[in-house]
Chains A and B, each alone.
Chain A
Amino acid sequence: MVAKLVGGVLSILGGAVHREWWKLFEDREVSTMGKYLVMIYDDEAKWAAADPSVMERNHLNHQAFVAANAGAVVGGAQLGESPTATSIRSDGNGGYVVTDGTFAETKEVMGGYYLIEAADLDEALAIAKQVPSPMGGVEVRPLVNGG
């Protein structure tokens, strides 16, 4: 990311050496970079029915995605399947109700996520479109105040 931004700054300055370019970098980051959570939603039934080779290919596709977007990907992980989920709701009286399963019952469930950094929503969407999600799709949400 640093190299990319510095390159951009230098090209704006016409390639001239600017001794305080780190200042520009700082300004730019504060004013324009934001973090986005890319949530991968999959139909688990489809995955259960899929051939192991499909999963293997998907795994490689994720590695390729991370490699191609190394400058933007801040974090990410695959999640355990929905039967491993435990939900906790406040009971409104200072206590909790703990239940087995995901928070909302839906056909597509969140199976993984990436935390990415982007200059704006368009850039975030362009990156999110590359996230492999053959059995569903992704949802992109900004972190409040750029994270």
Chain B
Amino acid sequence: MADTVAEAVAAAHSTEWAAVLAATARVAADLDLAEDCVQDAYAKALTHWREQGVPRRPGAWLTTVATRRALELRRRDGVVRRKLPLLIPDTPASVGVFPDDRLRLVFTCCHPALAPEARIALTLRLVCGLTSGEIAKAFLVKETAMQARITRAKHKISQSGISYRIPRPEELPERIQAVLDVVHLVYTAGHTAADGPELTRPELSRRGIDLARMMRLLLPDSAEAAGLLALLLLTEARRDARVSGGQMVLMEDQDRSLWDRALIAEGLALVPEAVRAAGRFGVLAAIAAVHAEAERWEDTDWPEILGLYDVLLARWPSPVVALNRVVALSYVAGPDAALAELAELADGPALATYPYLASTRAELLWRTGRVEEARAAYDEALAFTGNPVEVAFLQARRLRTSS
């Protein structure tokens, strides 16, 4: 019995946290107070649910308990002079149109006036319900440093007057993009850890996908929200095939029977809607979809992928995109043509220090049979990476050039 209750509370924590906190924050008009009240409500649930049984709608029970406590404390607090100004509330009209408070919470956590790493930390803390310790561990920083980061961000929200509201219609596209970027960063931080012993941090990836699902649900009209979810699902589908025995496996060598068909089906179903707006995530999702649809590596539709990278490069140029486009080009026009383009890219300052430039050149040189040059390029790539799994991968590739 006790275990069932603990399980029910844990389940409510992972599925209801954001909604409970978001509703409480609106009533409390203070993020710290709201957090305290929500934590208190979960603690109460453990004892109350044991005595009275698990309520039919746990989220509603928790919200009622937490908001009641918030109102109580605010009333009591009324006489005490407040340290910080209150969160600025949304207009009644907007509350009517967007009844789900989770959107308010997400938009507040991902406000562009906050530093990017603070947006990620706040989102994981307030929307996903992770503790400062868990977030610190995921990003390999000290817990005290993470706590300070979160406190600073909350302070900026209340002091500078970042509202707890849905952005105005004219701000909405930009603000939605900012939120989706944060969700994407959460996922990619888990997908390829920059350093540390593991290549992936599945917990962060899972949270990224949870967030993408939430955004899809809350913003059903946003093609980019559909695009982001599709992209993450199609990428996640390949997770088990990406690492084998602690070693990184290139897509070329991946065992495609390990790809998660259910995730691929779900992702592919979203793509037609995602590409409608031709946003960045829509195009990235389309690229992932082309890969997912190839039964074998040889079946990959490279001209289609190259065309999609051309679109990306024209509208959202970045070192990663430029490099990936060169790889796609190598399968359409051959490695020599790709090497020629790569040489041009290497002259630009943006890419000169980009770690994957050398490894890409090494792969292309290897394919053209220039073994000595390939080995030198692998050495250069090794000097740039700190992730042990990537180091092992590059060393294995380099070894081929010595035999």
Residues of A in contact with B (beta carbons under 8 Å apart): 12, 31-32, 34, 36, 118-122, 124-126, 141-142, 144-146
CB atoms of B161 and A121 under 8 A apart = yes
Q: How far is B108's CA from A121's CA once the two chains are assembled, in angstroms? A: 11
Determine if B92 is an interface residue (Cβ-Cβ < 8 Å).
yes
**B residues adjacent to A (C-beta < 8 A):** 85-86, 88-89, 92-93, 111, 113, 159-163, 165, 167-168, 171
Nearest-neighbour CB distance to chain B for A19, whole angstroms, equals: 21
12 contacts between A and B (CB under 8 A): A31-B86, A31-B88, A36-B161, A120-B165, A121-B113, A121-B163, A122-B168, A122-B171, A125-B113, A141-B160, A145-B85, A146-B85
CA distance A141 to B159 in the complex (A): 9
Secondary structure at the A interface, as helix, strand, loop or mixed, is helix
Partner of A124, one of B89, B92, B161: B161
CA distance A126 to B86 in the complex (A): 21
Task: Summarize B's interface: helix, strand, loop or mixed.
Answer: loop
- If A12-B92, A32-B88 touch, whether A120 touches B161 (CB-CB below 8 Å) is yes
Report how far A122 CA is from B162 CA in the complex, Å.
Answer: 7
A12 CA to B95 CA, complexed, in Å = 13
Question: How far is B165's CA from A144's CA once the two chains are assembled, in angstroms?
Answer: 21
Find chain A residues with CB under 8 A from B171 CB: 122, 126
Nearest chain B CB to A4 CB, angstrom units? 14
Asked whether, in the complex, the Cβ of B168 is within 8 Å of the Cβ of A121, the reply is no
Q: A32-B88, A122-B168, A122-B171 are in contact. Are A144 and B159 (CB under 8 A)?
A: yes
Name the A residues within 8 Å of B92 (CB-CB). 12
Inter-chain contact A34/B113, CB cutoff 8 Å: no
Distance in angstroms from B344 CB to nearest chain A CB is 33
CA distance A24 to B5 in the complex (A): 47
A69 and B161 alpha carbons, distance in the complex (Å): 19
With contacts A12-B92, A145-B85, A146-B85 taken as known, whether A122 is within 8 angstroms of B163 at the C-beta atoms is: yes
B225 smallest CB distance to A (angstroms): 21
Chain B nearest CB, measured from A32 CB (Å): 6
In the complex, are the beta carbons of B93 and A121 less than 8 A apart?
A: no
Q: A118 contacts which of B93, B113, B159, B161 (Cβ < 8 Å)?
A: B161
Closest to B107 in A: A122
Chain A nearest CB from B67 CB (Å) reads 19
Min CB distance, A98 to chain B, in Å? 32
* A145 to B158 Cα, complex, angstroms: 9
Residues from chain B with Cβ under 8 Å of A144 in the complex:
159
Contact of B163 among A120, A141, A142 (CB under 8 A): A120
Instruction: Give the shortest distance, in Å, between A130 (CB) and chain B (any CB).
Output: 14
Question: Can you name the residue of chain B whose Cβ is closest to the Cβ of A11?
Answer: B93
In the complex, A120 Cα to B88 Cα: how many Å? 7
Known contacts A119-B88, A120-B88, A125-B113: A12-B162 contact under CB 8 Å = no
Q: Which residues of B contact A119 (CB under 8 A)?
A: 88, 163
Partner of A34, one of B89, B93, B161, B167: B161
Known: A119-B163, A122-B171. 19 other contacts (CB 8 A): A12-B92, A12-B93, A32-B88, A32-B89, A34-B161, A36-B161, A120-B161, A120-B162, A120-B165, A121-B162, A122-B163, A122-B167, A122-B168, A124-B161, A126-B171, A141-B160, A142-B161, A146-B85, A146-B161
Instruction: Kindly list chain B residues whose C-beta atoms are within 8 Å of the C-beta of A36.
Output: 161
Enumerate the 9 nearest inter-chain pairs by beta-carbon distance, A residue then B residue, closest first: A120-B163, A142-B160, A121-B161, A120-B161, A34-B161, A120-B88, A121-B162, A121-B160, A32-B88
Distance to closest chain B CB from A96 (angstroms): 30
Report the bound CA distance from A146 to B165 in whole Å. Answer: 18
The smallest C-beta distance from A66 to any residue of chain B, in angstroms, reads 22
How many Å from the CB of A123 to the closest CB on chain B? 9
In the assembled complex, the Cα of A124 lies from the Cα of B92 at a distance in Å of 21
Q: Which residue of B lies closest to A34 (CB)?
A: B161
CA distance A51 to B159 in the complex (A): 40
Which residues on A sit within 8 Å (CB–CB) of B88?
A: 31-32, 119-120
- The minimal Cβ–Cβ distance linking B82 to chain A, given in whole angstroms, is 9
Residues of chain A within 8 A of B160, CB atoms compared: 121, 141-142
Shortest beta-carbon distance from B167 to chain A in Å: 7
Q: Provide the residues of chain A in CB contact with B168, threshold 8 Å.
A: 122
Q: Enumerate chain A residues within 8 angstroms of B93, measured Cβ to Cβ.
A: 12
